[in-house]
């Protein structure tokens, strides 16, 4: 369990049941917590809103949020870190307060684990690509020893093209093709969205 998931698992053990009146204000508590606990609960929901605002639109859709929360999270994601953003995040926390957020937290934790895994895989592939371009045949021989089923001719061609691009400062088209070939060779299934974002840093 990630630190994020563990934090919310502990929070779920403490959270109380609330009811709201027609104006969305808290009317009473089934078990009345103290003010300090209420502040902790709302802070946890505020943080949950912050984390959701960092997701891509595609990732956010997998959380299956109520429409009003979904729209508010999309809106807050594009806002500068000023008072209006904080107020909208408080609104999101208030709306989350009314629903069972445990399924949302579980899905978000899975997304975070998947993203972290994708980043690790990205760096493995990136290191191999950089080694191949820097060391040439020595690194290629080592790679082919580890992956004898690799297409040697295709790999050599990609590597030659990528090295020529680097020497002439041309756009790294072959470098990206080499990267994707290595990712397929290593049988990594990392999120294309994450890989594209990280690979763009090299351009």
The CATH number for 143's domain is 1.10.60.30
What are the Cα distances from residue 121, in Å, to 95, 142, 184? 37, 19, 11
| Same domain (yes/no): 79, 139 | no
Does the pLDDT value for residue 143 go beyond 70?
yes
Identify the pLDDT of residue 35.
Answer: 77
Taking 3-state DSSP, the helix, strand and coil percentages for the chain, each rounded to the nearest 5, stand at 70, 5, 25
Residue 104 lies inside a defined structural domain of this protein: no
Does the pLDDT value for residue 95 go beyond 70?
yes
Indicate the number of domains in the chain. Answer: 2
Q: Residue 27: in which H helix or E strand, if any? A: strand 26-29
Q: CA-to-CA distance for 7 and 12, rounded, in angstroms? A: 9
Does the pLDDT value for residue 142 go beyond 90?
yes
pTM, two decimals, is 0.50
Residue 41 lies inside a defined structural domain of this protein: yes
| Same domain (yes/no): 23, 68 | yes
How does residue 94 score in pLDDT terms, banded at 50, 70 and 90?
A: very high
| Same domain (yes/no): 95, 120 | no
Burial 151-188 (b: 16+ CB within 10 A, else e): eeeebeebbebbbebeeeeeebebbbebbbbbbebeeb
Token readout for 60 is: 């956010």
Does the pLDDT value for residue 3 go beyond 90?
no
How does residue 37 score in pLDDT terms, banded at 50, 70 and 90?
A: confident
Return all residues near 85 (Cβ < 8 A) that are at least 6 apart: 76, 79
How does residue 74 score in pLDDT terms, banded at 50, 70 and 90?
A: very high
Does the pLDDT value for residue 66 go beyond 80?
yes
β-bridge mates for residue 18, sequence order: 29
Do 54 and 99 touch, CB atoms closer than 8 A? no
| Same domain (yes/no): 56, 25 | yes
| Same domain (yes/no): 13, 75 | yes
- Return mean pLDDT, the chain: 80
Q: Which residue has the higher pLDDT, 164 or 13?
A: 164
Supply the range of the domain harboring residue 157: 116-202
| Same domain (yes/no): 145, 191 | yes
């Amino acid at each position: 369990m990630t630190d994020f998931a563990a934090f919310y698992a502990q929070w779920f053990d403490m959270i109380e049941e609330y009811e709201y009146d027609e104006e969305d204000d808290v009317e009473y508590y089934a078990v009345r917590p103290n003010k300090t606990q209420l502040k902790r609960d709302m802070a946890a929901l505020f943080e949950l809103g912050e984390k959701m605002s960092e997701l891509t639109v595609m990732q956010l859709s997998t959380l299956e949020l109520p429409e009003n929360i979904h729209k508010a999270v999309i809106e807050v994601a594009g806002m500068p870190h000023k008072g209006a953003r904080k107020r909208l995040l408080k609104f999101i926390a208030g709306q989350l307060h009314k629903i069972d957020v445990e399924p949302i937290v579980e899905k978000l934790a899975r997304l975070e684990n998947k993203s972290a895994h994708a980043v690790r895989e990205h760096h493995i592939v990136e290191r191999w690509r950089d080694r191949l371009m820097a060391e040439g045949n020595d690194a290629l021989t080592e790679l082919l020893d580890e992956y004898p089923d690799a297409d040697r001719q295709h790999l050599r061609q990609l590597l030659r093209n990528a090295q020529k691009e680097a020497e002439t400062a041309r756009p790294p088209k072959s470098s990206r093709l080499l990267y994707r070939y290595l990712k397929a060779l290593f049988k990594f299934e990392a999120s294309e969205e994450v890989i594209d974002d990280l690979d763009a840093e090299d351009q």
